[in-house]
Amino acid sequence: MTDVAGKTAFITGGASGLGFATACALAAKGASVILADVDAERVEEAAATLRSEGAIALGLQLDVTSEDGWAAAGKAAREFGPVRILFSNAGVGGGSGPFELYDTDVWRWNYAVNAHAHLYACRTFLGDMKASGEPGHLIFTSSMVAIVPPPISVAYISSKYATLGIAMALRNELAGTSVDISVLMPGMSATRIVETTRDLRPVDVEVGQAATTSQAMQSVLAGGMAPDKVGARVVQAIEAGEYWIFTHPEWKAMAELVTADMLGAFGPSADPAYKGDDIDGLIAANGGRMFGAKK
C-alpha cells in the first residue's frame, strides 16, 4: 500500500496512546478511522476530537477479549466503511513479581488482551480484506521487550513475544495477497498502559513490591517517546510497505547481543549420522514461502 487516503482504518486501543496517535496521523493523510477501546467515554471523546478537526471518525466501545464484542464491532465497522487497514494495538501490562507467584487470572487476562485478541481482530476483518483484492495493511503492536526481555513481567514479555510470532507467521501466510503486514516494536513510549492495567486488571490492586514496581514503571514511561512520533512512523511504514517498525534505535545494540548469543549456541548436530532436516520440503509443505529460507 502506498496511499492511505480514502481507506478505512480500524484501530484497537484507539482512545489514547499509540492507537490514537496513529489514528490522528492516518486522518491527517485522508483516511477514515474507527477507534475501538474498552473505555466507552474516552473513545467517543477521541472520535469527537478527530471529527472536530474535519476527520471522518467513529468511536466504538470494545472489549477485545470478547468474541461477542468483536461481532458487534465488525457489524458497526462494515456499516461505516470497508476496513482496509487493521491496527491490532490494544495492550495491557502483565503485573510483576516472581513467575511462580503470578496470579493465574492476571496471566490469562494478559494473554487474552495482548495475544488472543489478534485472532479475534483477524477473524473479524482479515478475510474480507484479502477477498477484496484491494491493497490493505495489517499491523500488530509487539514491543522491544519481546526481543530484549528485562526482568519485569513474564506475562507481558511472553505475550508480546507471542504477538511477534503471530506477525512473523502471517508474514509468510500473507505473501502473494493484497494485504501487507507490519509489526510495531516500540521501546518506552509515553502511554497510559500502566494506568489502564491498574484500572482493568481482574483481581485486586497490586500491593507491596508489585505496587512499587507499577508506580516506578509509570514514571519511566512518562519520559518515553511521544506517541505522535510513533504514530507518524506507523503511517510511514504502511505507505512504504515495511514489515519491521523499529522506533527506538537505542535498543539495537542489545538486540544484536541477544541474536549473537543465540547464533553462537549453534554447534554440531546432536546426531552426526543424521542427514539434516529437509528445509526445502518444509518450505514446499508451507506453500513455498518461508522467511529467511531460500524460495
**What percentage of the chain reaches a pLDDT higher than 90?**
73
How many of the other CB atoms lie within 10 Å of CB of 120? 22
pLDDT band per the 50, 70, 90 thresholds, residue 215: low
CB 219 within 8 A of CB 212: no
Q: Which three cell numbers stand for residue 189?
A: 513510549
pLDDT in tens, 117-173: 999 999 999 999 999 999 999 999 999 999 999 877 899 999 999 999 999 999 999
* Least confident piece of the model among 58-67, 116-125, 166-175, 208-217: 208-217
pLDDT in tens, 254-264: 999 999 999 99
pLDDT in tens, 74-86: 999 999 999 999 9
pLDDT band per the 50, 70, 90 thresholds, residue 102: confident
Q: Which residue has better confidence, 216 or 285?
A: 285
35 pLDDT exceeds 60?
A: yes
Q: Domain ranges for the chain, please list them.
A: 8-264
217 pLDDT exceeds 90?
A: no
CB 68 within 8 A of CB 61: no
Which is it for strands 179-185 and 244-246: parallel, antiparallel or unpaired? Answer: parallel
Instruction: Supply the pLDDT for residue 126.
Output: 98
Sheet of strand 136-141: strand arrangement: 57-61, 32-37, 8-12, 83-88, 136-141, 179-185, 244-246
Work out the average pLDDT over 183-195: 80
CA distance 38 to 14: 9
Instruction: Supply the pLDDT for residue 93.
Output: 82
DSSP 8-state class, residue 222: H
How many of the other CB atoms lie within 10 Å of CB of 157? 19
- Counted residue by residue, the chain has a size of 295
Query: In CATH terms, is domain 8-264 a member of 3.40.50.720?
Result: yes
**Catalytic residue among 16, 88, 96, 142, which?**
142
- The reply to whether 160 belongs to the active site is yes
**Catalytic residue among 88, 156, 159, 214, which?**
156
Instruction: Supply the pLDDT for residue 295.
Output: 34
Instruction: Supply the pLDDT for residue 101.
Output: 84
Instruction: Supply the pLDDT for residue 291.
Output: 62
Instruction: Supply the pLDDT for residue 294.
Output: 38
Instruction: Supply the pLDDT for residue 197.
Output: 64
**Catalytic residue among 88, 96, 143, 160, which?**
160
65 pLDDT exceeds 60?
A: yes
Q: Which of 160, 163, 164, 140 is nearest to 152 (CA)?
A: 160
Q: Which residue pairs, CB below 8 angstroms and at least 24 apart, start in 254-262?
A: 254/148, 255/144, 255/147, 255/148, 258/147, 258/148
Name the average pLDDT for the chain: 90
